[in-house]
Chains A and B, each alone.
Chain A
Protein backbone atom coordinates (compact mmCIF):
# COMPACT_ATOMS: atom_id res chain seq x y z
CA UNK A 1 0.00 0.00 0.00
CA UNK A 2 2.65 2.54 1.05
CA UNK A 3 4.62 1.97 -2.16
CA UNK A 4 1.56 2.19 -4.39
CA UNK A 5 0.38 5.30 -2.58
CA UNK A 6 3.76 7.00 -3.03
CA UNK A 7 4.19 6.11 -6.70
CA UNK A 8 1.08 6.00 -8.90
CA UNK A 9 -1.34 6.71 -6.10
CA UNK A 10 -4.48 4.98 -4.88
CA UNK A 11 -7.96 5.58 -6.29
CA UNK A 12 -10.48 5.77 -3.54
CA UNK A 13 -14.21 5.37 -4.28
CA UNK A 14 -16.34 7.18 -1.72
CA UNK A 15 -20.00 7.59 -2.50
CA UNK A 16 -20.35 9.14 -5.92
CA UNK A 17 -16.75 10.41 -6.03
CA UNK A 18 -13.44 8.86 -7.02
CA UNK A 19 -10.43 10.49 -5.42
CA UNK A 20 -6.84 9.80 -6.40
CA UNK A 21 -4.50 10.15 -3.46
CA UNK A 22 -0.74 10.14 -3.66
CA UNK A 23 1.48 10.43 -0.61
CA UNK A 24 4.88 9.32 0.58
CA UNK A 25 4.04 10.05 4.22
CA UNK A 26 3.91 6.80 6.25
CA UNK A 27 1.07 7.85 8.58
CA UNK A 28 -1.18 8.53 5.56
CA UNK A 29 -0.62 4.97 4.36
CA UNK A 30 -1.26 3.64 7.87
CA UNK A 31 -4.45 5.69 8.15
CA UNK A 32 -5.71 4.43 4.80
CA UNK A 33 -4.94 0.82 5.66
CA UNK A 34 -6.76 1.00 8.98
CA UNK A 35 -9.62 3.42 8.40
CA UNK A 36 -10.32 2.81 4.72
CA UNK A 37 -9.87 -0.95 5.02
CA UNK A 38 -13.40 -1.66 3.76
CA UNK A 39 -13.32 0.71 0.77
CA UNK A 40 -12.50 -0.08 -2.81
CA UNK A 41 -8.87 1.06 -2.99
CA UNK A 42 -8.04 0.43 -6.60
CA UNK A 43 -4.94 1.12 -8.62
CA UNK A 44 -4.81 4.42 -10.47
CA UNK A 45 -7.46 4.64 -13.24
CA UNK A 46 -7.75 6.90 -16.24
CA UNK A 47 -10.46 9.19 -14.88
CA UNK A 48 -10.96 10.43 -11.36
CA UNK A 49 -12.95 13.33 -9.92
CA UNK A 50 -10.24 14.80 -7.71
CA UNK A 51 -6.48 14.41 -7.43
CA UNK A 52 -4.89 15.01 -4.06
CA UNK A 53 -1.30 14.82 -2.84
CA UNK A 54 -0.04 14.87 0.72
CA UNK A 55 3.69 15.49 0.55
CA UNK A 56 6.60 17.27 2.24
CA UNK A 57 6.79 20.99 1.42
CA UNK A 58 9.71 22.76 -0.26
CA UNK A 59 13.29 22.23 0.82
CA UNK A 60 13.55 25.19 3.20
CA UNK A 61 10.39 24.40 5.13
CA UNK A 62 11.38 20.75 5.26
CA UNK A 63 14.71 21.82 6.67
CA UNK A 64 13.05 24.01 9.32
CA UNK A 65 10.77 21.29 10.68
CA UNK A 66 9.03 18.14 9.41
CA UNK A 67 5.83 19.29 7.76
CA UNK A 68 3.33 18.19 5.14
CA UNK A 69 1.47 20.02 2.41
CA UNK A 70 -1.95 19.30 0.92
CA UNK A 71 -2.08 19.75 -2.86
CA UNK A 72 -5.21 19.66 -4.99
CA UNK A 73 -4.87 19.67 -8.77
CA UNK A 74 -1.33 21.00 -8.33
CA UNK A 75 -2.22 23.86 -5.97
CA UNK A 76 -1.60 24.06 -2.23
CA UNK A 77 -4.58 25.90 -0.68
CA UNK A 78 -3.40 25.59 2.94
CA UNK A 79 -0.27 26.30 4.92
CA UNK A 80 1.81 23.19 5.68
CA UNK A 81 1.06 21.37 8.92
CA UNK A 82 3.25 19.23 11.19
CA UNK A 83 3.97 15.83 9.68
CA UNK A 84 2.08 13.98 12.42
CA UNK A 85 -1.14 15.63 11.17
CA UNK A 86 -0.79 14.29 7.63
CA UNK A 87 -3.76 11.90 7.72
CA UNK A 88 -6.01 14.47 9.40
CA UNK A 89 -4.87 16.99 6.77
CA UNK A 90 -6.01 14.58 4.05
CA UNK A 91 -9.44 14.32 5.67
CA UNK A 92 -9.80 18.07 6.24
CA UNK A 93 -8.50 18.85 2.77
CA UNK A 94 -10.89 16.39 1.15
CA UNK A 95 -13.78 18.14 2.92
CA UNK A 96 -12.55 21.42 1.44
CA UNK A 97 -12.29 19.90 -2.04
CA UNK A 98 -15.85 18.60 -1.98
CA UNK A 99 -17.28 21.81 -0.47
CA UNK A 100 -15.62 23.89 -3.17
CA UNK A 101 -16.26 21.69 -6.18
CA UNK A 102 -19.28 19.41 -5.85
CA UNK A 103 -21.84 22.03 -6.79
CA UNK A 104 -24.36 19.48 -8.02
CA UNK A 105 -25.26 19.41 -4.31
CA UNK A 106 -26.23 21.97 -1.73
CA UNK A 107 -23.53 21.15 0.82
CA UNK A 108 -24.44 21.76 4.44
CA UNK A 109 -21.99 21.50 7.33
CA UNK A 110 -23.79 18.66 9.07
CA UNK A 111 -23.60 15.05 10.10
CA UNK A 112 -26.14 12.84 8.35
CA UNK A 113 -27.33 9.35 9.27
CA UNK A 114 -30.15 7.11 8.08
CA UNK A 115 -32.28 4.26 9.39
CA UNK A 116 -35.25 2.53 7.74
CA UNK A 117 -35.10 4.97 4.84
CA UNK A 118 -35.42 8.05 7.09
CA UNK A 119 -32.41 10.32 7.26
CA UNK A 120 -31.52 12.75 10.01
CA UNK A 121 -29.51 15.91 9.34
CA UNK A 122 -27.52 17.24 12.30
CA UNK A 123 -26.08 20.61 11.28
CA UNK A 124 -23.74 22.36 13.61
CA UNK A 125 -20.69 24.47 14.09
CA UNK A 126 -17.52 22.86 15.50
CA UNK A 127 -18.07 22.01 19.16
CA UNK A 128 -21.83 21.44 18.78
CA UNK A 129 -21.30 17.72 19.27
CA UNK A 130 -22.64 16.65 15.89
CA UNK A 131 -19.77 14.28 15.05
CA UNK A 132 -19.85 12.63 18.48
CA UNK A 133 -23.61 12.18 18.27
CA UNK A 134 -23.28 10.90 14.72
CA UNK A 135 -20.57 8.39 15.71
CA UNK A 136 -22.68 7.14 18.61
CA UNK A 137 -25.74 6.78 16.36
CA UNK A 138 -23.66 4.80 13.88
CA UNK A 139 -22.60 2.51 16.74
CA UNK A 140 -26.31 2.02 17.46
CA UNK A 141 -27.10 0.77 13.97
CA UNK A 142 -27.69 3.95 11.97
CA UNK A 143 -26.15 4.12 8.51
CA UNK A 144 -23.46 6.75 8.18
CA UNK A 145 -24.04 9.11 5.28
CA UNK A 146 -21.43 11.63 6.41
CA UNK A 147 -20.12 13.06 9.66
CA UNK A 148 -19.20 16.36 8.07
CA UNK A 149 -21.43 17.34 5.16
CA UNK A 150 -24.98 16.82 4.01
CA UNK A 151 -24.93 16.47 0.23
CA UNK A 152 -28.41 17.54 -0.89
CA UNK A 153 -29.02 16.81 -4.56
CA UNK A 154 -30.17 19.88 -6.49
CA UNK A 155 -32.08 17.54 -8.81
CA UNK A 156 -34.30 15.64 -6.43
CA UNK A 157 -33.45 16.76 -2.88
CA UNK A 158 -32.15 13.33 -1.86
CA UNK A 159 -29.25 13.10 0.58
CA UNK A 160 -26.22 11.46 -1.01
CA UNK A 161 -23.84 9.46 1.14
CA UNK A 162 -20.21 10.39 1.53
CA UNK A 163 -19.24 7.99 4.31
CA UNK A 164 -15.68 8.48 5.52
CA UNK A 165 -13.85 8.08 8.81
CA UNK A 166 -15.61 10.12 11.50
CA UNK A 167 -13.52 12.96 12.91
CA UNK A 168 -13.43 12.98 16.71
CA UNK A 169 -11.93 15.61 18.99
CA UNK A 170 -10.61 15.74 22.53
CA UNK A 171 -12.92 14.04 25.09
CA UNK A 172 -15.06 12.53 22.31
CA UNK A 173 -12.24 10.17 21.39
CA UNK A 174 -12.36 8.28 24.69
CA UNK A 175 -16.14 8.54 24.89
CA UNK A 176 -16.44 6.68 21.58
CA UNK A 177 -13.60 4.26 22.40
CA UNK A 178 -15.62 3.16 25.41
CA UNK A 179 -18.99 3.34 23.67
CA UNK A 180 -18.95 0.09 21.73
CA UNK A 181 -16.55 -2.85 21.50
CA UNK A 182 -16.47 -2.77 17.73
CA UNK A 183 -15.20 0.81 17.43
CA UNK A 184 -11.90 1.14 15.56
CA UNK A 185 -10.11 4.44 16.07
CA UNK A 186 -6.95 5.49 14.26
CA UNK A 187 -3.87 7.30 15.51
CA UNK A 188 -4.48 10.11 17.99
CA UNK A 189 -2.77 13.39 17.10
CA UNK A 190 -2.35 16.11 19.72
CA UNK A 191 -1.86 19.87 19.33
CA UNK A 192 -3.76 20.38 16.10
CA UNK A 193 -5.78 23.54 15.46
CA UNK A 194 -8.82 21.54 16.65
CA UNK A 195 -7.09 20.09 19.73
CA UNK A 196 -6.43 16.36 19.93
CA UNK A 197 -7.99 14.55 17.00
CA UNK A 198 -8.54 10.99 15.81
CA UNK A 199 -10.76 9.29 13.25
CA UNK A 200 -13.20 6.40 13.69
CA UNK A 201 -13.61 3.74 11.02
CA UNK A 202 -17.10 3.72 9.49
CA UNK A 203 -19.05 0.46 9.46
CA UNK A 204 -18.78 -1.79 6.42
CA UNK A 205 -22.55 -1.65 5.91
CA UNK A 206 -22.42 2.13 5.44
CA UNK A 207 -19.64 1.82 2.87
CA UNK A 208 -21.48 -0.90 0.97
CA UNK A 209 -24.56 1.35 0.75
CA UNK A 210 -22.56 4.43 -0.25
CA UNK A 211 -24.38 4.80 -3.58
CA UNK A 212 -27.85 4.64 -2.09
CA UNK A 213 -29.31 8.07 -1.29
CA UNK A 214 -31.79 8.70 1.50
CA UNK A 215 -34.66 11.07 2.10
CA UNK A 216 -34.25 13.58 4.95
CA UNK A 217 -37.06 13.44 7.52
CA UNK A 218 -35.59 15.11 10.60
CA UNK A 219 -33.50 18.26 10.82
CA UNK A 220 -32.08 18.56 14.33
CA UNK A 221 -29.64 21.27 15.44
CA UNK A 222 -27.65 19.76 18.31
CA UNK A 223 -25.87 21.53 21.15
CA UNK A 224 -23.83 19.51 23.61
CA UNK A 225 -23.91 20.83 27.17
CA UNK A 226 -22.14 18.79 29.81
CA UNK A 227 -24.53 17.43 32.41
CA UNK A 228 -27.60 19.06 30.88
CA UNK A 229 -30.85 17.11 30.61
CA UNK A 230 -31.97 16.38 27.07
CA UNK A 231 -34.28 19.05 25.77
CA UNK A 232 -35.70 18.86 22.26
CA UNK A 233 -37.64 21.93 21.22
CA UNK A 234 -39.60 22.40 17.99
CA UNK A 235 -37.99 24.85 15.61
CA UNK A 236 -40.04 26.90 13.16
CA UNK A 237 -39.29 26.11 9.54
CA UNK A 238 -38.40 29.68 8.61
CA UNK A 239 -35.88 29.74 11.47
CA UNK A 240 -34.62 26.31 10.47
CA UNK A 241 -34.08 27.42 6.88
CA UNK A 242 -32.08 30.46 8.00
CA UNK A 243 -29.86 28.22 10.12
CA UNK A 244 -29.44 25.79 7.25
CA UNK A 245 -28.43 28.67 4.97
CA UNK A 246 -25.82 29.76 7.53
CA UNK A 247 -24.37 26.24 7.55
CA UNK A 248 -24.35 25.79 3.76
CA UNK A 249 -20.82 25.89 2.35
CA UNK A 250 -21.73 26.65 -1.27
CA UNK A 251 -24.95 28.66 -0.88
CA UNK A 252 -23.49 31.77 -2.53
CA UNK A 253 -22.34 29.70 -5.52
CA UNK A 254 -25.68 27.95 -6.06
CA UNK A 255 -27.98 30.97 -5.96
CA UNK A 256 -31.71 30.30 -6.38
CA UNK A 257 -31.19 26.55 -6.88
CA UNK A 258 -29.49 26.35 -3.47
CA UNK A 259 -32.31 28.28 -1.81
CA UNK A 260 -34.90 25.97 -3.36
CA UNK A 261 -33.01 22.81 -2.36
CA UNK A 262 -32.64 23.94 1.26
CA UNK A 263 -36.24 25.17 1.50
CA UNK A 264 -37.52 21.86 0.10
CA UNK A 265 -35.39 20.00 2.65
CA UNK A 266 -36.92 22.03 5.47
CA UNK A 267 -40.38 21.33 4.06
CA UNK A 268 -39.72 17.59 4.12
CA UNK A 269 -38.40 17.51 7.68
CA UNK A 270 -39.57 17.91 11.19
CA UNK A 271 -37.28 20.60 12.60
CA UNK A 272 -36.01 20.88 16.15
CA UNK A 273 -33.14 22.03 18.30
CA UNK A 274 -31.79 19.57 20.80
CA UNK A 275 -29.60 20.35 23.78
CA UNK A 276 -28.12 17.28 25.40
CA UNK A 277 -25.72 16.09 28.03
CA UNK A 278 -26.73 12.45 27.81
CA UNK A 279 -25.98 10.85 24.46
CA UNK A 280 -28.05 7.67 24.87
CA UNK A 281 -31.15 9.67 25.75
CA UNK A 282 -30.55 12.13 22.89
CA UNK A 283 -30.29 9.24 20.41
CA UNK A 284 -33.50 7.73 21.79
CA UNK A 285 -35.36 10.99 21.20
CA UNK A 286 -33.88 11.54 17.74
CA UNK A 287 -34.79 7.99 16.72
CA UNK A 288 -38.35 8.37 17.93
CA UNK A 289 -38.78 11.71 16.18
CA UNK A 290 -37.24 10.44 12.95
CA UNK A 291 -39.40 7.32 12.83
CA UNK A 292 -42.69 8.87 13.96
CA UNK A 293 -42.24 12.42 12.76
CA UNK A 294 -44.98 14.70 11.56
CA UNK A 295 -44.12 13.93 7.95
CA UNK A 296 -45.15 10.31 8.20
Chain B
Protein backbone atom coordinates (compact mmCIF):
# COMPACT_ATOMS: atom_id res chain seq x y z
CA UNK B 1 0.00 0.00 0.00
CA UNK B 2 1.46 3.44 -0.91
CA UNK B 3 2.44 5.59 2.00
CA UNK B 4 1.84 9.22 2.66
CA UNK B 5 4.73 11.53 3.51
CA UNK B 6 5.45 15.20 3.91
CA UNK B 7 6.55 16.77 0.68
CA UNK B 8 10.27 16.47 0.22
CA UNK B 9 10.28 19.49 -2.09
CA UNK B 10 8.35 22.10 -0.13
CA UNK B 11 9.67 23.84 2.95
CA UNK B 12 7.01 25.17 5.24
CA UNK B 13 6.46 26.66 8.69
CA UNK B 14 3.35 26.07 10.73
CA UNK B 15 1.67 27.30 13.86
CA UNK B 16 -1.12 25.36 15.47
CA UNK B 17 -3.80 26.63 17.81
CA UNK B 18 -7.18 25.39 19.04
CA UNK B 19 -9.04 26.75 16.03
CA UNK B 20 -6.69 25.42 13.37
CA UNK B 21 -3.28 25.61 11.88
CA UNK B 22 -1.65 28.26 9.70
CA UNK B 23 1.00 27.09 7.27
CA UNK B 24 3.49 29.31 5.47
CA UNK B 25 4.99 27.69 2.41
CA UNK B 26 8.48 29.15 2.11
CA UNK B 27 8.91 28.32 -1.57
CA UNK B 28 5.68 29.92 -2.80
CA UNK B 29 5.21 32.58 -0.10
CA UNK B 30 1.62 31.40 0.29
CA UNK B 31 -0.15 31.19 3.64
CA UNK B 32 -2.92 28.66 4.27
CA UNK B 33 -5.43 28.22 7.05
CA UNK B 34 -5.97 24.53 7.76
CA UNK B 35 -8.32 22.70 10.09
CA UNK B 36 -7.17 21.16 13.36
CA UNK B 37 -7.57 17.73 11.75
CA UNK B 38 -5.14 18.73 8.98
CA UNK B 39 -2.72 19.91 11.64
CA UNK B 40 -2.97 16.55 13.37
CA UNK B 41 -2.10 14.68 10.18
CA UNK B 42 0.79 17.04 9.41
CA UNK B 43 2.16 16.50 12.90
CA UNK B 44 1.84 12.74 12.51
CA UNK B 45 3.70 12.80 9.19
CA UNK B 46 6.46 14.92 10.69
CA UNK B 47 7.43 11.86 12.69
CA UNK B 48 7.57 9.72 9.56
CA UNK B 49 5.58 8.48 6.58
CA UNK B 50 2.75 6.02 7.04
CA UNK B 51 0.29 4.06 4.97
CA UNK B 52 -3.32 5.14 4.79
CA UNK B 53 -4.31 2.05 6.77
CA UNK B 54 -1.92 2.87 9.60
CA UNK B 55 -3.06 6.46 9.66
CA UNK B 56 -6.67 5.39 9.68
CA UNK B 57 -6.05 3.07 12.64
CA UNK B 58 -4.17 5.73 14.55
CA UNK B 59 -6.85 8.33 13.98
CA UNK B 60 -9.55 5.87 14.96
CA UNK B 61 -7.79 5.28 18.26
CA UNK B 62 -7.83 9.03 18.91
CA UNK B 63 -11.55 9.36 18.27
CA UNK B 64 -14.28 7.89 20.41
CA UNK B 65 -17.24 9.14 18.39
CA UNK B 66 -16.36 8.50 14.73
CA UNK B 67 -17.18 5.36 12.82
CA UNK B 68 -14.61 3.80 10.51
CA UNK B 69 -16.62 5.10 7.54
CA UNK B 70 -16.79 8.65 8.87
CA UNK B 71 -13.09 8.59 9.62
CA UNK B 72 -12.23 7.39 6.13
CA UNK B 73 -14.23 10.26 4.65
CA UNK B 74 -12.51 12.72 6.97
CA UNK B 75 -9.06 11.40 6.13
CA UNK B 76 -9.80 11.59 2.42
CA UNK B 77 -10.83 15.26 2.79
CA UNK B 78 -7.71 16.07 4.81
CA UNK B 79 -5.41 14.33 2.37
CA UNK B 80 -7.09 16.05 -0.59
CA UNK B 81 -6.62 19.53 0.93
CA UNK B 82 -3.02 18.89 1.95
CA UNK B 83 -2.18 17.45 -1.47
CA UNK B 84 -3.81 20.43 -3.16
CA UNK B 85 -1.31 22.80 -1.56
CA UNK B 86 1.53 20.35 -2.07
CA UNK B 87 2.32 19.63 1.58
CA UNK B 88 2.11 15.85 1.31
CA UNK B 89 2.97 13.35 -1.36
CA UNK B 90 2.63 9.66 -2.00
CA UNK B 91 5.75 7.85 -0.93
CA UNK B 92 7.16 4.34 -1.36
CA UNK B 93 4.95 1.36 -0.82
CA UNK B 94 4.59 0.15 2.73
CA UNK B 95 3.09 -3.09 3.95
Contact = CB atoms under 8 A, between A and B. Distances in A.
B40 interface: no
Contacts of A252: 29
B18 A236 contact: yes
Interface SS, B side = strand
B15 A263 contact: yes
B19 interface: yes
Interface string A241-270: 110010000011001100110010011000
Interface SS, A side = helix
**Band of interface residues on B:** 10 to 19
B31 interface: yes
Contacts of B26: 255-256
Contacts of A255: 26, 29
Contacts of A211: none
B60 interface: no
Q: Which has the most chain A C-beta neighbours within 10 Å: B18, B24, B33?
A: B24
B31 A236 contact: no
Nearest to A255: B29
B19 A242 contact: no
A163 B17 CA distance: 33
Nearest to B19: A236
A177 B64 CA distance: 60
B62 interface: no
13 contacts: A236-B19, A237-B15, A238-B15, A238-B19, A239-B19, A242-B22, A242-B31, A255-B26, A255-B29, A256-B26, A259-B13, A260-B13, A263-B22
Interface of B: 13, 15-22, 24, 26, 29, 31, 33
